[in-house]
Structure formats: C-alpha cells, structure tokens
Structure 1
Amino acid sequence: MSIALVSGLIIAVVLVVLLLLGVPIAISIGVSSLLAILPTLNFDASVLTGAQRIFSGISVFTLIAIPFFILAGNIMNRGGIAIRLINFAKVLTGGAPGALAHTNVVSNMLFGAISGSGVAAASAMGSIIGPVQEKEGYDRDFSAAVNIASAPTGLLIPPSNVLITYSLVSGGTSVGALFMAGYIPGILWGLGCMVIVYFMARKRGYRSTARVTMNQAFRIFLEAIPSLLLIVIVIGGIVGGIFTATEGSVVAVVYSLILSLFFYKTIKLKELPEIFRESAKMTGIIVLLIGVSSIMSWVMAFTRIPEAISAILLNITSNKYMIILIINIVLLFIGTFMDTTPAVLIFTPIFLPICQQFGMSAIQFGIMLTFNLCIGTITPPVGNILFVGVKVAKTKIENVIKMVIPFYAIIIAVLMLVAFIPGVSMWLPQLMGY
C-alpha cells in the first residue's frame, strides 16, 4: 500500500473517530494530520514542521479581512439594518402571491450579503417577518421553510468570509474574482426559491393585503439607501481596485459603525465592547481552524494524497462529467455533517487539483464547493441554519423538512448549472477583467 493511501486512511479514520468522540474540529484536524505524517517523518520533525505550518498559515495579510467582516456583520445585526432591508424588499415584491414570503427571500439575499452570515440572516428575518406572515394567515412551517431555504444566499453573494477562506487555502485565488463569481449563483439560488414560493403560495391562496403607496415606497427606498450603499462601496471598491479585500473589510466596519451609531442611532457606545468580544471569539475559532488546516494541506501535498484520490476516481471512470458529479455528491454528503469553514479547509486541497486536471478554474471550483457546503447548512443532521430557522419560527424540524424538499430540488438544479456550465460563475469575473 502506498504512503499516500496509508496517510489518507489515517487522516480519515482518526478525524472521524475524534469528531464522534466530541473533540473540537480544530484539534481533530491537527492530531489526525500529525499522525498521518509519522510513517514518513519522525515525531520531532513532524511536530516542528506542524508548528511552523500553523504560523505560516495564519501569517497572511488577506486573512485580516475575516475578523473585520465578522465585526461589520455583528454591528449590522445590532444596528437596525434588517428592518430597513425588509421594508425595501416589500416594495420590490409588490402584491405577488406569497408577497411576504418573497420579501423574506429578497431580504435574506440583501441582509445575508451585507452581514456575510446565513445564520444571522435566518435569525433576523425569521424573527421579524415570521410573526407578520402568521398574522396574515401564512402557515408557520411554510414561512420557516422559505426563510431557511433562502438564508444561505448571503454566503455566496459577497462579501463572503467562506470565499476569503477558500482564497487562502487554494493558493491565493483572487478574492475579487471570487466575489464577482458568487453573484449569479447566489441570485439564481434566491430566484429559484422565489419560483417555489410563487407556486406554493398560489396553491395555498397566500396574498398580501397590504399595499404600499408611491410616497411610502419612496420614503422606504430613501431609508434603505445608506444600508444598500455598503454593498456598493465595499464591493465596488474591491472590484475597482480602490482598495483590497482586507482594506474593504475595514471600510465595512467604519461605515457600519457610523451608520448604526450616528445615522440610525440604533447602537449605543456601551454596547460596543460586547460586540467586539463576540467578534473576537468567532475570529479565534476561524483563525485556529485555518492554522491547523495548513498542517493537513502540507501533509496531503507531501504524501501526494490528492494524486492518489485522483487515480482512484480515474479508475472508476475517465469521463470528466461523471467525476465532477461524483465530487459534488461527496461534497453534498460532507456538508450534511461538517461546518462550512473546516470543510473548505479540508477538501479544497483534495478536490481542486482533480478538477483543474479537467480544465475547471479555481474560481469555478470555489463557487461549486461553497454552493455544495451551503446546502449542507440547511440539511440535517447538523445544518446550523436549519436549526436556527426552526427555533426562530417556534416549530418542529420534522414539519419544516417536508416543506423544504421542493426547495432542495431547485437549489440542487442550480448547483448542477454551476458545476457544469462555467459561464454561470465565470461570466462576471471575465467581464470585470479577472
């Protein structure tokens, strides 16, 4: 048996056993990686190299963007931006069947993109729109399903911390290109949800009784402009070359602070220390994961594990479409029990080289990988957005899952477009010159 297969088996078995025992994911990744290199290097060299890889893995300027985007998201979650985006979404969706459900989808796309968090979007939108929908006769399980199914769009529509993490682990793929590539898949996900909402709402007879006058619509639009400008300023600045993604994250923090403290006046200065603490905790978890995953990436490259997996897949079939389909099935399965960030860190170095052999760009693969893992966030057994959405709606998961099934179908259909039609993710980056 080759050293690659031995190391690969050690990583897989030890990682699964440690996770089942409840060991934190960062420690599980580090321990399994070090054990996998022992057949090749002695213990002292393995530990020394592992320590060096942790520090080199987190000593990247682009990584600074993650804590700042997390901080900006937490400020916006507290800053009253959600209700203004909801009101704006109401104007956009008008009086279509299931107008409030359509509003939920559009609001998740807007708020998720601004905050960069699907969980935050599901929590904020579910708690605000859910009671209004129930008051207008919407079934609680239906409302929860719509909220859950559309919440992950913010992980694809930039700015996205997942895409920044992927940029690091993939060897420096352009963050700006990844941001541009996420727009169309994220919007298609949201539009797909709206198609399902339309037919389900029409069948159930859900129609909005409220009408917005032109004067009200204009006032709502004016109130929403400062929030919407955040996307324009940050993404426009990154794409236009005015500042880097890291500098853009700082701009997002400053802008969201000014908006929440002085314009909307929804956050008080005494609340900031708690917001900073929450952001620091979240940052610490992600940075530690990135550091220890650098050990795993090095072990995989050193022992040639990706090449061994590629050879196994090629022994199954030489058809590139079948191999890409198999990779998508594996990623969908992985996403059902592993969080997005560690999954990106673990499986990028395994599957990216294989897909590149068949002509897929690192940008397209990054969007395909993220899309797969986003589906996992709304899928049992550990989908965090699924559980947050159910909790906010105060309903039962078994009831909501039945409602979510049609959404799964159309979301996976969009995934197939992303996987097999490069233009879905590559058209915008190419148009912008990436």
Structure 2
Amino acid sequence: MLELLSPFTWSLVAIVILVFGGLSVGLSMLSGSFLYLLLKGQDPSIASETLLQGLFNSYTLLAIPLFILAADIMNIGNLADKLLRFCQALVGRFRGGLGHVNVVSSLIFSGMSGSAVADAVGMGKIIIGMMTKNGQYSPAYAAAITAATATIGPIIPPSIPMVIYALVSDQSVGYLFAAGLLPGLLMAFAMGFINFWVARRRGFPVDEVVPLSDIPRITWQAFPALMLPVILLGGIYGGIMTPTEAAAVAAAYALIVSMVLYRSVSVRQLWATLTSGSRSAASIGILIAGSMAFNYVITRENVPVTISDLLSSMALSKTGFLIMVNLLILGLGCILEGGAILLIIVPMLIPSVQAMGIDLVHFGVIVVVNSMIGLITPPYGLLLFIVSSVTEEPIAQVIKEVWPFIFALILALLLITFNADFVLFLPRLLGYGL
C-alpha cells in the first residue's frame, strides 16, 4: 500500500515525522522538498535555486533581522526601564495598576520591536518582577497577563509577521502596518478590561501614586524612547523611508539612544546582542527558506487550486469562509508556530480569498491576530513557556490564569474579522484602494 503513495504524500509524511522528531520546521520542509524532487526524478538543486531566488529577490525581508536587532538593543538598554516608569506614572494609580502598566507598556514597546517574543522576554521580565514584588500579584497571573499583552507586539506597527505576510501575499507592508494599528488598540483595550475586572474581583492593590509634579520629568526621561515609533512610522507614511530602511533607522536610533544618551550598553553587551540577534534572524531565515522550497512543491501539485475548487464546491458564503479560516488557524495555532502558519497555510488560502472578494490587507490582519492568539493557546503556546520559565511557575497555573485573556482576544478577533471598515480605515486614509 505504501508503494501507492505519491511523492507529495511521502514528502508530507517526511515533514511531519521530522517535525515531531525535533527538527525545526524550516529544515523539515527543506528535507521534504528534496525528497519530493528525488522521487519525481527532478534535479534536487531546484529547491536550492528556488529558495535563493526568493531570499535574494525580496528586499523587504531585510527588515526582519533589523527589527530583531532594534528590539534586542532596547532590551539590554535602559529604554524598557524608562518606558515602564512612564507607563506607571500614567496608569499605575488605578486598582490593579501594574496590570494596566503591563498592557500600556506592551502597547508602546510593540511600536518599536514588532515581535511578541521580544516583548515577553525584554519588557516582560521587568514588569513580572515589579508585579510579584512583595506578593502584590500571584506569579501565575503576572505571567499570564504578560504573555497575553505580548501578543500586541506583532499587531501594532512595525510587525515582523506582517512583513512575512506581505511576502506571501504581495501586499504593501506600509498598508499592512497601518491596518494593524486600530486592531492592536482594540486588543489592548480588551485586555485592560479583563485586568480591571480581575482586579475588582480579587482586590488587587492600588499601586504607588506618582505625584503629578513628577510626570513632566519622567516623560522627559522617556522621551527619547517614545520618539522611536514616531520616527519609524513617520518615516514610512511620510514617504521618506521604505519599511526596510525604517527598520535600519530603528536599529541605529536604538543603539544611539542606549549607548550615547542613556549610556547603558557596553561593547560586550552589544556584541552578545548582535550574536543572539543573528541566531534569531537565522532561524526565521531557515523557516522562510524552507517554506519557499515547499511552496514550489505545493505549486507543482496544484494544491492551492485544488483547495480553491474544494471550497467553491462547498458554496461557502464570505462569512462562512472567514469563520472556517479562523477555526482552522486557531486550531493550528495550538500546535504550530505563527511563522509556519503564515508561510505554509496562508499561501494555499490566498486564491480562495481573492475568489471570495475578501480584501487581502484585511485578511492579513485576521490571520496575524489569529496566529498571535496561538502563542498563548494551550498546549504549545510559545509565550506561555517563556513566561513560565521567567516566573518558575508551573505551566498549568499560567494556563489557568490566561483563559480570560484568550476569551477577550477571541472577541476582539471576531470584531476584526467581520468589520473590514474598522481594519481598513487608516489604510484608506493613506490612499489604499484609491
């Protein structure tokens, strides 16, 4: 019976076995693609040629390692401390104030890093320490809200997942960034409401009130860090810089502010940051390379066309299709990393999205938000494991505390899914669709 399996089926089986065997998704897809070419009697170098052309012909991809570098520099500098003090001055005076500080700080930091992991690892470590000090908040709750708020990072521009989606959908990075702003604010509002509700139920303390006379000084100290999103987004939407150039400017600005103004980064720390950033960029690069090779395979097998024909035969309405896509990606998010979903699953769906008349920028925001929810969805939510290791709290306790935030984010996702005008409001102001 195994002899009846097609080369494509053997390729899929090989990828699944390798992934569950512990090999990275990118290398697994490369291996499966090579196996497919060998079984088809084609030159295996086709896979190498395909991925090299894809990598070298995409100038936009350069933004990814540069955004990673900018986020890493901000994490080792004093930028996070200054921003947290600023956020504490704004919202720390309310009940459950440090929870609100967590939400607002993630909102601001997301306008600089573009990465949920960078947010959780950098800003998250500091805010978790503040929340658990003196037993004000349980470690499990501090970890849960930190993981949940980190999902805002890739929605508020800049966004590494949006850059990846732009690659597979051939859409404008600038318009995708603009489309993510209001949904990101909606997600922050939803999590702020959950924190307010939990704080009232559990009697969380009112944190130390920062005197109004100190706010101008605190704001001035945080001003260089707060200017980074302004420079970044102003440059992109003012037509001064491309997103890739803006990523380079963000990295350079973060370095200057950290080393010259705050004087908080040594040469040794900078070298360690460059090394770790290179490893992170390489892992994403391998994932992208593997997806490009495997996309050649699925294109040769006419998989996107087959899926499009199957969906057409089901006579789904636009609403039904979007519900199905959300359920699919939410389910896959429980076991797959967001980048893999964007690079493997989404390209197969795009022909159907176009046939349904669904706007590709709107669809991009839907799938990115959905993929980020997967980062905190049991059993394999990456952010849950990160914050669990930071707090040394059992993962089961963190999962128990994160469910209200997952529920709030799914409600926000539904609003984003079925209200395209809300998502596309800012892109249209900037000329999208004209």
Task: Tell me the TM-score range normalised by the shorter chain.
Answer: over 0.9
Matched, 1:347 2:345: yes
Match of 1:82 among 80, 90, 100: 80
How many Å apart are 1:15 and its aligned residue? 2.1
How many Å apart are 1:49 and its aligned residue? 2.1
How many Å apart are 1:224 and its aligned residue? 1.2
Contact 2:143/2:391 (CA < 8 Å) preserved in 1?
Answer: yes
Match of 2:297 among 299, 315, 332: 299
How many Å apart are 1:405 and its aligned residue? 1.0
* Cα pair distance change 1:369/1:209, threshold 3 Å: closer
* Cα pair distance change 1:7/1:316, threshold 3 Å: farther
How many Å apart are 1:180 and its aligned residue? 0.5
Contact 1:130/1:140 (CA < 8 Å) preserved in 2?
Answer: yes
How many Å apart are 1:57 and its aligned residue? 0.9
Matched, 1:142 2:144: no
Matched, 1:56 2:53: yes
* Cα pair distance change 1:58/1:8, threshold 3 Å: same
- Could you tell me which residue of structure 2 aligns to residue 393 of structure 1? 391
* Cα pair distance change 1:317/1:8, threshold 3 Å: farther
Residues 124-173 of structure 1: per-residue CA shift (max 9 Å, x gap): 333322233232622222222211111110111111111111111223x1
How many Å apart are 1:94 and its aligned residue? 4.4
* Cα pair distance change 1:145/1:270, threshold 3 Å: closer
Residues 291-319 of structure 1: per-residue CA shift (max 9 Å, x gap): 22112222222322112112223334422
How many Å apart are 1:377 and its aligned residue? 0.9
Contact 1:189/1:411 (CA < 8 Å) preserved in 2?
Answer: yes
TM-score, reference length from structure 1: 0.93
Contact 1:180/1:428 (CA < 8 Å) preserved in 2?
Answer: yes
Letter in 1 for 2:157: P
Letter in 2 for 1:48: S
TM-score, reference length from structure 2: 0.93
How many Å apart are 1:285 and its aligned residue? 1.6
Contact 1:317/1:323 (CA < 8 Å) preserved in 2?
Answer: no
Matched, 1:19 2:19: yes
How many Å apart are 1:33 and its aligned residue? 3.0
Task: Report how many aligned residue pairs link the two structures.
Answer: 426
Give, in whole Å, the separation in 1 of the partners of 2:366 and 2:309.
Answer: 22
Contact 1:324/1:355 (CA < 8 Å) preserved in 2?
Answer: no
How many Å apart are 1:243 and its aligned residue? 0.8
Letter in 2 for 1:53: T
Residues 352-375 of structure 1: per-residue CA shift (max 9 Å, x gap): 221221111221111111111101
* Cα pair distance change 1:248/1:87, threshold 3 Å: same
Residues 45-87 of structure 1: per-residue CA shift (max 9 Å, x gap): xx13212111111012111111111111111110111111111
- Other structure's SS at 1:153 match: coil
Match of 1:106 among 100, 104, 107: 104
* Cα pair distance change 1:7/1:429, threshold 3 Å: farther
The correspondence of residues 317-336 of structure 1 with structure 2, limited to 5 A, is 317-336=315-334
- Could you tell me which residue of structure 2 aligns to residue 286 of structure 1? 284
Between stretches 20-29 and 99-108, larger displacement belongs to 20-29
Letter in 2 for 1:145: A
Matched, 1:192 2:214: no
Q: Provide runs of 4+ in structure 1 moved above 6 Å.
A: none
- Other structure's SS at 2:357 match: coil
Letter in 2 for 1:13: V
Gaps of 5+ in 2: none
Contact 1:98/1:207 (CA < 8 Å) preserved in 2?
Answer: yes
Letter in 2 for 1:109: L
* Cα pair distance change 1:99/1:209, threshold 3 Å: closer
Letter in 2 for 1:184: L
Give, in whole Å, the separation in 1 of the partners of 2:36 and 2:411.
Answer: 37
Contact 2:110/2:158 (CA < 8 Å) preserved in 1?
Answer: no
Identity %: 35
How many Å apart are 1:36 and its aligned residue? 4.3
Contact 1:63/1:164 (CA < 8 Å) preserved in 2?
Answer: yes
* Cα pair distance change 1:126/1:69, threshold 3 Å: closer
Give, in whole Å, the separation in 2 of the partners of 1:131 and 1:25.
Answer: 33
* Cα pair distance change 1:267/1:433, threshold 3 Å: same
Give, in whole Å, the separation in 2 of the partners of 1:386 and 1:419.
Answer: 25
- Could you tell me which residue of structure 1 aligns to residue 118 of structure 2? 120
Residues 93-118 of structure 1: per-residue CA shift (max 9 Å, x gap): 14222111010111112123312222
The correspondence of residues 165-204 of structure 1 with structure 2, limited to 5 A, is 165-171=164-170, 173-204=171-202
RMSD: 1.9
Give, in whole Å, the separation in 2 of the partners of 1:245 and 1:370.
Answer: 18
Gaps of 5+ in 1: none
How many Å apart are 1:11 and its aligned residue? 4.7
- Other structure's SS at 2:158 match: coil
- Other structure's SS at 1:242 match: coil
